[in-house]
Amino acid sequence: MVDGGVDIVEVGFPYSDPVMDGPVIQQAAEISLKNGTSAEDVFDVVASTTVPTLVMSYWNPISRYGVRNFAEKLSASKGVGVITPDLTIEESDEWISATSDSAIDRVYVVAPSTADHRLAKVTSACSGFVYAASLMGVTGARTTISGSASELVNRIRNVTELPIAVGLGVSTAQQAAEVAGYADGVIVGSAFIKLVLESATIDEAVLRVRTLAEQLAAGVRLR
């Protein structure tokens, strides 16, 4: 992915109940858990990268690992932040304290249904960037990007100066270019994972992932 031009990497922490994710990421998480992937494996991947790297994790694995321990371990692994899709700001006091002490960015997810007053509250708790979900629904590649995505980005810009990255549904260079026209970052997950799941060998998976990364990066840089 990095060789193909990806600027930031998101490492998913596999979880048994990934409610925000569609069938592709659910299948990958199931395979990962069956193969015994642990928190230490996740941190090892983070430590091995050469670009800024975040972890995407549901709250339960963080809580089970120990909130402060998780933040400290991620910082020690050169991680720069965590995306927490199911953590509300009302339940974030311990997380905000731990991440602040470890200099880890907090990335919360907002959606088209998020009211304006709520946007202000959530983005004020974010650091690093804001994750804008392009539509209501689970992760997964789609043929078109929801028109509500650009509207949501405009609403977010009214309440924060943080960069805004858009995710959910992007899988092609054309879509990446479209999103890059109004957002600061383009998040792609399922499209990469689908290629890995469909590949017969590691070498084939690496080649296909690098090729997609090159196409997406080219699309983003057009804008």
Which member of 3, 7, 10, 151 is catalytic?
10
Q: What one-letter code names the amino acid at 116?
A: D
d(CA 99, CA 106): 7
- 203 as an active site residue: the answer is no
Give me 70's structure tokens. 């998780």
C-alpha 85/C-alpha 167 separation (Å) is 12
Exactly one of 3, 7, 17, 21 is catalytic; name it: 21
How many Å apart are CA 55 and CA 45, to the nearest integer? Answer: 10
Q: Count of CB atoms within 10 A of residue 96's CB?
A: 13
Residues 6+ apart with CB under 8 A from 200: none
Whether 41 sits among the annotated catalytic residues: the reply is no
Phi then psi for residue 183, to 5 deg, are -115, 165
List, in sequence order, every residue forming a beta bridge with 185; answer none if it has no partner: 165
Which are the catalytic amino acids? 10, 21
